[in-house]
Amino acid sequence: MSDRELEIVDPGPLTTLQDLGRPGHAHLGVSRAGALDRGAHRLANRLVGNPPEAAGLETTVAGCAVRARGAVTVAVTGAPCPVTVDGRPAAWGTAVRVPAGAVLRAGAATHGVRSYLAFAGGITVDPVLGSRSTDLLSGLGPPPLTRGVLLPLGDTDGPLRAPAAVDTVPWQRPPARLVLPVLLGPRDDWFTPAALRTLATGDYRVSPSGNRIGLRTVGPPLERARDGELPSEGMVLGAVQVPPDGRPVVFLADHPTTGGYPVVGVVPESRLDAAAQAAPGTPIRFLPVRPR
């Protein structure tokens, strides 16, 4: 039994292993996957001295609990949540030393959706196509975590930086309204001018049926100018696809790489961290922009 292991005590509703993903494999039908809130993932790694691409845990809404087989330094970022070590309060957003055998719990998110746990040395399960990320659509990488699973940790004697010494952690509270610019195209001509006005002015909200594949919306449908469907074509991160019900879906990290429903536009990647933290019911304002 190694002391460089974590045991999953409580996986919560959905806890997955994530790093910065496996880009460059769309031709194989494999999306990038990786942490949905990349800024929070990078920050957690920085706080414990890991390189930004080290693998950690991404929780969903209700958090998770892990037992450290040996002493380890941990940081929790992303959606703020209560953090405890063996039931005693610990700090969110800073490096915390967890003794051997102790249980670290990241509780339910008080704002946002997804919290990120980084462990000094990183989680070192075998990579698949260069990444340790769980991809819910393709099934690549480790499956969602379950109680009793053991996860190996890397050696902290390697080329790691010292944990960042910080007084405060930069964190932007999830906005009361999610504002998403949409670069129109390539299939905006499949929609009527009225539909594009609806996209810009409609009362949209985040649907509870969304997941790591896509942020689904509740709101007025977009009116088609053309009937039928497209031959399957490439899909990119941030694509705003419109299925037959007419309600936009914003593709996130585990999105399919091809699809036959028209894409009205694309949300820039830099705005997707906020989408990852938008709770069901959050109002959405789309800002359509025609590329020059």
Q: Is the pLDDT of residue 160 over 60?
A: no
Do 48 and 93 lie in one domain? The reply is yes
Do 19 and 131 lie in one domain? The reply is yes
Q: What is the pLDDT of residues 242-270, one digit of tens each?
A: 999 999 999 999 999 999 999 999 999 99
Residue indicated by tokens 């959606």: 79
Residue 284 lies in a domain: yes
State the pLDDT at residue 176: 82
Do 200 and 75 lie in one domain? The reply is no
Q: pLDDT tier at 164 (50, 70, 90 boundaries)?
A: low
* Residues 156 and 117 sit within 8 Å (Cβ to Cβ): no
Q: pLDDT tier at 228 (50, 70, 90 boundaries)?
A: confident
Do 207 and 265 lie in one domain? The reply is yes
Give the mean pLDDT of the chain: 94
Q: Which residue in 274, 6, 53, 29 sits closest to 150, CA to CA?
A: 6
State the pLDDT at residue 169: 67
Residue 163 lies in a domain: no
Do 248 and 199 lie in one domain? The reply is yes
Bridge partners (DSSP) listed for residue 214: 251
State the pLDDT at residue 2: 75
CB atoms under 10 Å from CB of 109, counted, come to: 22
130 Rama sector, left if φ>0, alpha if ψ -120 to 50, beta otherwise: left
Q: What is the mean pLDDT of residues 273-291?
A: 95
SS (H, E, C) 16-65: EEECCCCCCCHHHCCCCCCCCCHHHHHHHHHHHCCCCCCCEEECCCCCEE
Q: Is the pLDDT of residue 167 over 60?
A: no
Residue 126 lies in a domain: yes
Residue 245 lies in a domain: yes
Q: Is the pLDDT of residue 145 over 60?
A: yes
Strands (E), the chain: 5-10, 16-18, 56-58, 64-68, 72-78, 83-85, 88-90, 96-98, 103-106, 115-119, 150-152, 178-184, 204-206, 214-218, 233-234, 239-241, 249-251, 258-259, 263-266, 283-289
Do 281 and 208 lie in one domain? The reply is yes
Q: What is the mean pLDDT of residues 68-92?
A: 96
Q: Is the pLDDT of residue 162 over 90?
A: no
Q: Is the pLDDT of residue 26 over 60?
A: yes
Q: What is the mean pLDDT of residues 126-136?
A: 97
285 Rama sector, left if φ>0, alpha if ψ -120 to 50, beta otherwise: beta
CATH of the domain at 14: 2.60.120
Q: What is the mean pLDDT of residues 116-121?
A: 98
CATH of the domain at 242: 2.40.100.10
Q: What is the mean pLDDT of residues 142-151?
A: 98
Q: What is the mean pLDDT of residues 48-62?
A: 97
* Residues 55 and 35 sit within 8 Å (Cβ to Cβ): no
Last residue of a domain, one of 144, 159, 186: 144
Whole-angstrom CA distances from 43 to 25, 180, 213, 278 are 26, 23, 23, 19
Q: pLDDT tier at 166 (50, 70, 90 boundaries)?
A: low
Bridge partners (DSSP) listed for residue 50: none
* Residues 122 and 153 sit within 8 Å (Cβ to Cβ): yes
Q: What is the mean pLDDT of residues 73-84?
A: 97
Identity at 14, one-letter amino acid code: L
Report the share of the chain in percent with pLDDT over 70.
94
Q: How far apart are CA 79 and CA 86, in angstroms?
A: 21
Identity at 243, one-letter amino acid code: P
Do 108 and 204 lie in one domain? The reply is no
State the pLDDT at residue 165: 62
Residue 159 lies in a domain: no
State the pLDDT at residue 203: 96
Report the share of the chain in percent with pLDDT over 90.
89
Q: What is the mean pLDDT of residues 152-163?
A: 72
Residue 165 lies in a domain: no
Do 125 and 81 lie in one domain? The reply is yes
* Residues 152 and 5 sit within 8 Å (Cβ to Cβ): yes
Bridge partners (DSSP) listed for residue 73: 97
Do 186 and 237 lie in one domain? The reply is yes
* Residues 36 and 79 sit within 8 Å (Cβ to Cβ): no
State the pLDDT at residue 194: 98
Residue 169 lies in a domain: no
Do 183 and 260 lie in one domain? The reply is yes
Q: How many domains is the chain built from? A: 2
48-62, 156-170, 206-220, 273-287: range with lowest mean pLDDT: 156-170
Give residue 190's domain range.
178-289
Q: Which residue in 151, 141, 159, 168 sits closest to 72, CA to CA?
A: 151
Do 138 and 220 lie in one domain? The reply is no
Residue 271 lies in a domain: yes
Do 135 and 13 lie in one domain? The reply is yes
